[in-house]
């Protein structure tokens, strides 16, 4: 499978206001803390990117004795996380080979990153290893198999075929976690709606959606042309869009 070079798009990724606005308090983390009263917690944001998730969570959970950790394979993404975050241990490493002691973390968050791992089984072995017993791994991602009408695939059809090579479907994810000794609770939130194409042109132009970096430039330019053409014919054009997000809570038992 192809991989996205985040060193090239770290800036664009970090400046995408949509990503910043969509992050809320992590209620699964809150639930873990509420149900596991401890003097100290060790939390890892796996593939933390530029630190957008942690920045918000650190505010929401201020006052608790939490040791925050952020791991990413890209130095450029971590450099930005470093600027954004205070009092976080930054770890430049691959998820497939974490330089962390076994049974270290209470909770591992993993947002929009699992599809990037070339060695997914190995990453899961590592996640299992570094979690404490009773600890929680939260895998949050889009589920591309449930969203073939996503606007990205509508305008950039080759993106779907690239994504099929990278994403595991939810059955595989569930089974791979369960067979390693996790108790798994997986849910998918799905929505279908009409969207205004004009609202998405800038997203496409920013090209920080990873799959748009994997398709070739010609397919990308043709997709942009299709968007511009549709908007020229009708500036209020809408298309049917579907979107599905997976929230998978895996507890090490
Ligand atoms: C789409 S970004 C998500 C970043 C962040 N979690 C967020 O939600 O904003 C994917 C991140 O995964 C990282 N990544 C890709 N492959 C990785 C690997 N094998 N090990 C660790 N991190 C990886 C990339 O460097 C990038 O920062």
User: Does residue 93 sit in helix, strand or coil?
Assistant: coil
For the segment 29-56, the average pLDDT, to the nearest whole number, is 97
* Mutation to probe ligand 1, out of 113, 206, 246 (largest number of atoms < 8 A from CB): 113
Q: 12-18: long-range contacts (C-beta < 8 A, 24 or more apart)?
A: 12/206, 12/207, 12/208, 13/49, 13/50, 13/77, 13/208, 14/50, 14/52, 14/80, 16/206, 16/208, 18/203
| pLDDT(145) > 80 | yes
Contact 128, 134 (CB under 8 A): no
For tokens 């010609």, the residue is 218
- How far apart are alpha carbons 30 and 87 in whole angstroms? 20
| pLDDT(13) > 90 | no
Contact 141, 113 (CB under 8 A): yes
Return the number of other C-beta atoms located less than 10 Å from residue 208's C-beta. 21
**230: domain range?**
6-252
User: Ligand 1: distance of its center to the CA of 225 in Å?
Assistant: 29
* CA-to-CA separations, 225 to 27, 201, 221, in angstroms, rounded: 41, 10, 6
Return the number of other C-beta atoms located less than 10 Å from residue 220's C-beta. 19
User: Ligand 1: distance of its center to the CA of 80 in Å?
Assistant: 13
Q: Quick one: pLDDT at residue 205?
A: 95
Q: Is residue 232 part of a domain?
A: yes
Tell me, using a 6 A CB cutoff, whether residue 127 lines ligand 1.
Answer: no
Tell me, using a 6 A CB cutoff, whether residue 6 lines ligand 1.
Answer: yes
Question: How many structural domains compose the chain?
Answer: 1
Q: Percent of the chain at pLDDT above 70?
A: 100
Segment 52-97, tens digit of pLDDT: 999 999 999 999 999 999 999 999 999 999 999 999 999 999 999 9
Tell me, using a 6 A CB cutoff, whether residue 112 lines ligand 1.
Answer: yes
Which of 54, 171, 187 has the alpha carbon at shortest distance from 108?
54
Tell me, using a 6 A CB cutoff, whether residue 110 lines ligand 1.
Answer: no
State the sign of the Cα–Cα–Cα–Cα dihedral 252, 123, 8, 141.
negative
Segment 194-245, tens digit of pLDDT: 999 999 999 999 999 999 999 999 999 999 999 999 999 999 999 999 999 9
Tell me, using a 6 A CB cutoff, whether residue 116 lines ligand 1.
Answer: yes
User: Ligand 1: distance of its center to the CA of 46 in Å?
Assistant: 8
Q: Is residue 1 part of a domain?
A: no
CB within 8 Å of 161: residues ≥ 6 apart? none
Looking up residue 149, the CATH number of its domain turns out to be 3.40.50.150
Tell me the β-bridge partners of 44. 69, 108
Tell me the β-bridge partners of 247. 140, 187
Q: Is residue 245 part of a domain?
A: yes
Q: Is residue 61 part of a domain?
A: yes
**pLDDT tier, 20 (very low <50, low <70, confident <90, very high otherwise):** confident
Higher-pLDDT residue of 177 and 19 is 177
Q: Quick one: pLDDT at residue 12?
A: 82
Q: Percent of the chain at pLDDT above 90?
A: 91
Q: Is residue 87 part of a domain?
A: yes
Tell me, using a 6 A CB cutoff, whether residue 52 lines ligand 1.
Answer: yes
This prediction has a pTM of: 0.95
Tokens of 192: 């279908």
| pLDDT(11) > 90 | no
Q: Is residue 95 part of a domain?
A: yes
Tell me, using a 6 A CB cutoff, whether residue 208 lines ligand 1.
Answer: no
| pLDDT(18) > 80 | no
For the segment 161-185, the average pLDDT, to the nearest whole number, is 98
* Mutation to probe ligand 1, out of 72, 108, 110, 126 (largest number of atoms < 8 A from CB): 72
Q: Is residue 37 part of a domain?
A: yes
Q: Is residue 170 part of a domain?
A: yes
Task: Give the least confident one: 2-6, 114-118, 170-174.
Answer: 2-6
Q: Quick one: pLDDT at residue 220?
A: 98
Say how many CA atoms lie within 13 Å of 143 toward its Cβ.
21
């Amino acid at each position: 499978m192809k991989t996205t070079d985040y060193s090239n798009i770290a800036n664009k990724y970090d400046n995408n206001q949509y990503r910043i606005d969509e992050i809320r308090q992590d209620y699964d983390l809150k639930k873990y803390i509420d149900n596991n009263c401890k003097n100290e917690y060790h939390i890892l944001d796996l593939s933390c990117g530029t630190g957008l998730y942690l920045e918000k969570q650190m505010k929401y959970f201020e006052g608790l004795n939490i040791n925050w950790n952020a791991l990413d394979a890209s130095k450029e993404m971590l450099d930005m996380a470093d600027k954004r975050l205070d009092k976080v241990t930054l770890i430049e490493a691959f998820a497939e080979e974490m330089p962390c002691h076994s049974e270290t973390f209470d909770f591992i968050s993993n947002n929009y990153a699992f599809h990037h791992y070339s060695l997914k089984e190995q990453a899961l072995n590592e996640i299992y290893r570094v979690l404490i017993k009773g600890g929680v791994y939260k895998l949050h991602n889009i589920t591309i198999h449930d969203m073939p009408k996503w606007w990205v695939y509508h305008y950039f059809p080759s993106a779907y075929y690239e994504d099929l090579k990278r994403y595991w479907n939810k059955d595989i994810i569930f089974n791979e976690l369960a067979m390693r000794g996790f108790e798994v609770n997986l849910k998918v939130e799905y929505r279908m709606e009409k969207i205004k194409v004009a609202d998405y042109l800038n997203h496409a132009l920013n090209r920080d959606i990873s799959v748009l970096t994997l398709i070739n430039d010609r397919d990308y330019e043709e997709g942009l042309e299709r968007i511009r053409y549709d908007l020229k014919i009708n500036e209020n054009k809408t298309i049917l869009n579907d979107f599905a997000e997976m929230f998978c809570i895996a507890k090490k038992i």
